[in-house]
Amino acid sequence: MVKLDVITTRGGDAGETSLGDGTRVRKDVLRIEAMGAVDEANAVLGLLRLQTAGDAAIDPILARIQNELFDLGADLCVPGEGGARLRLEAAQSARLDAEIAAQNAELPPLTSFVLPGGTPAAAMAHLARTSIRRAERLVVGLAAAEALNPEAVRYLNRLSDLMFVLSRRLNGNGTGDVLWVPGATR
């Protein structure tokens, strides 16, 4: 279990930080950028949860995902694919697949792309989706540069899809979606 007595260690004052295996790296290396983007996505999910606090179908999903994003951060902070450290598992991505299917089953088919907006909760889900996509791009770059748990990329890809579906659910099951009208301002 984690125990944090001292928050300010001054260990990063020179622009470096420690990975989970003790290796010191610059704070601007791709691994740290990816970890930071996952952390930021988690913070956006915290804001989304403020919008969905009374929704017994959605808030528990988001609460679990926030914990899983911390698991992903723990996975990313230790280089390599395997090992005894905490790693995301295929079952976590499979659960997201099932949730996407269940949430999407109640939505009407789309006839256009959806613009971010609608209700405050839906807009926040779109912000979460874009934040997760940025984290995914950084993790994809990291996976191209060094060995990485392949579930990290898969999980983020599924999670952004779930945020899109949840945005539609939070827009009155799609009735409040703001649809793109190509060339509308010509």
- Band (pLDDT 50/70/90 cuts) for residue 1 is low
Q: What is the pTM of this model?
A: 0.92
- Band (pLDDT 50/70/90 cuts) for residue 22 is confident
Backbone dihedral angles phi then psi of residue 115, each to the nearest 5 degrees: -85, 145
Q: Rg of the chain's alpha carbons, rounded to an integer? A: 18
Does residue 47 lie within any of the structural domains?
Answer: yes
Q: How far is residue 56 from each of residues 53, 60, 73, 102, 152, measured CA to CA in Å?
A: 8, 7, 27, 15, 27
Does residue 63 lie within any of the structural domains?
Answer: yes
Count: domains in the chain: 1
pLDDT at position 24: 92
Does residue 168 lie within any of the structural domains?
Answer: yes
Three-class HEC string of 79-124: CECCCCCCCCCHHHHHHHHHHHHHHHCCCCCCCCCEECCCCHHHHH
Does residue 62 lie within any of the structural domains?
Answer: yes
Show the domain range for 37. Answer: 29-79+120-176
Does residue 125 lie within any of the structural domains?
Answer: yes
Q: Which amino acid is at 22?
A: G
Does residue 54 lie within any of the structural domains?
Answer: yes
Does residue 104 lie within any of the structural domains?
Answer: no
CATH code for the domain of 60: 1.20.1200.10
Cα four-point dihedral sign 70, 97, 82, 134 = negative
pLDDT in tens, 85-131: 788 999 999 999 999 999 999 999 999 999 999 999 999 999 999 99
Does residue 181 lie within any of the structural domains?
Answer: no
What is the rounded distance in angstroms from the CA atom of residue 68 to the CA atom of residue 133? 16
Strand, coil or helix: 18: strand
